[in-house]
Amino acid sequence: MTTIRSPQQLGAALRAARKQLRLTQPQLALAAGVGVRFIVDLEAGKPTVRLVNILRVIDALGGEILLSGLPSAAEGHSKDDDHGA
C-alpha cells in the first residue's frame, strides 16, 4: 500500500503503476476514457485535475482508494450530516 499526502505523490505512484504495467500514457488514457493531457497533468502532480477522472485512471490501472484514519460512514452519521444541516 502507498501513502499519498500530496498531488505529486499521487502522480508519482500512478506513473510507477503505469510503467510497471508497461502502458504508455496514450494507452492508459484510452483505457481510462480520459485525454492524454489529463494523464500528463496527473502524473506531474497538477493539483487541479478532476477527481472523477482520477478515479477512472486508478480503476484502469486495477487499483482502488482506501481511506484510513477517518471515521467510517457506518459510525452513526447520516447522509444529511455531511452538509452541516
Domain boundaries, given as residue ranges, for the chain = 7-60
Q: What is the pLDDT of residue 83?
A: 52
Q: What is the pLDDT of residue 75?
A: 58
Query: For 8-34, what is the mean pLDDT?
Result: 96
CATH of 7-60, one of 1.10.260.40, 3.30.1130.10, 3.40.190.10, 2.10.10.100: 1.10.260.40
Q: Which residue is associated with the grid cell 483505457?
A: 31
Please report, as a single letter, which amino acid is at residue 29: A
Query: For 38-46, what is the mean pLDDT?
Result: 96
- 47-79 residue pLDDT tens: 888 999 999 999 999 999 988 888 877 655 545
